[in-house]
Structure 1
Amino acid sequence: MRILRLILLVPATVIVLFAARQGMAAPLRLAVAANFTQTAQQLVAEFTQKTGVSATISSGSSGQLFMQITQGAPFDIFLSADTKRPADLIASGMGVAASRFTYAIGQLVLWTPAAHAPPGEQTLRQATFTHLAICNPNTAPYGTAAIETLNGLGLYARLKPKLVVAQSVSQALELAQSGNAELAFVALAQVLPLQGGAYWPVPSALYTPIRQDAILLSRSEDDEQAQKFMAFLHGAKARSLIGAAGYLTDTPAGEPTP
């Protein structure tokens, strides 16, 4: 049987964060993996408060954003949900090699809106649900991690007919929230702010670590504001916000912040 696939022919979501600007300078343009959207909004708000520099956030799956960048989308910085696509941008001359670093390590969870029935491994093994939402493993690292988890538990073949595949991890969560799936594999950072529902932290041994890399794009290598934002991402305040949002970090301490 084929995996039920949700096809959404829409561009990546664009979120514009309006804030004070320095003169008439254009805002920074950030391409942000869907799982990190809410955290990126917090980071931009903090950065803007410190520097007066505004920013726009375009969110979508890492694969969608990567494709847009290679096709000429005018982004300054890419916050991917994997390491491969930033590495590919460097290889193609579109990313600044020295700027690349892991800004967050994602944690996969199995979430359900039914708080009275906390999910777990046994939930997957019993398979009494009708639909399980994941994001596209070809474009979204959290989808890859979900497939690895099911394979690690020996359940992929059995549960494949129940899978509903969204184009991003945000859309996978929306499927469960709307009742179109009883369960969803999503990022911990997505569900921590939610009211209601319950989640199971997937053991990290079941999937490859979701190392999320940031990179300054070559077109903005000499942009002072973009360099400031990259430095800010390295700083203690940014790491604190990222950790509180539900990610792990291993960025060395001590880098200056703007």
Structure 2
Amino acid sequence: MPAKPGHSEDEPDETPHYHGHRERLRERFYAAGPEALSDYELLEMALFAAIPRRDTKPLAKALLKKFGSFAEVVHAPVARLREVDGIKDASINQLKLLAAAAGRIAKGEIKRSVALSSWNEVIDYCRSSMAFADKEQFRLLFLDKRNQLIADEVQQTGTIDHTPVYPREVIKRALELSATALILVHNHPSGDPTPSQADIQMTKAIVEIAKPLGIAVHDHIIVGKNGHASLKGMRLM
């Protein structure tokens, strides 16, 4: 049965043997930072609030066994998280909160900075927002003449291996926002960010329409679980 709002999902054990373990984890985390902990230990800590009176290590290890990494766990679809034996709503809510917080922090970084002078922040944001999605998304970052972010919009969501993109609609939206530059972003749910021929052709079509209107297309970034690709960096645009 799902946990009631405002309550944890478990009942107290008779022998709270895990209390000392939790304190030791917290001490290591505060003394040496997150790098001192393995993925399953970070997951254990993340689940403390959802499961305050039960050992969280078995669930943390089960999640990593199914999904592979900390990032893949927190970005996993809710339906797939429910497949893990023993997981309940409170734990799922906690994991989704972590994913949302990571995305919000990354977006805040690029909003506060000049996009083209903080390329690592742009990549981090794109990966945290899209790399682990189970369907393709096409995202547009609209920039002003100082290369600061005006708007961040998902224009299309497609299937596991295709997203329909309409170049004229992309440029129409840029004009509506008075954007002078764009960064195109989409994900490959397969995990492999290698651009397809269709990706390259679509990018060139957008560039051709944008250029006479004074709108620069700075890059097309493709993200996946296994990394990212820059069409500009690969000289494909």
TM-score, normalised with respect to structure 2: 0.28
**Bigger Rg over Cα:** 2
TM-score, normalised with respect to structure 1: 0.26
The structure where strand makes up a greater share of residues is 1
The structure where helix makes up a greater share of residues is 2
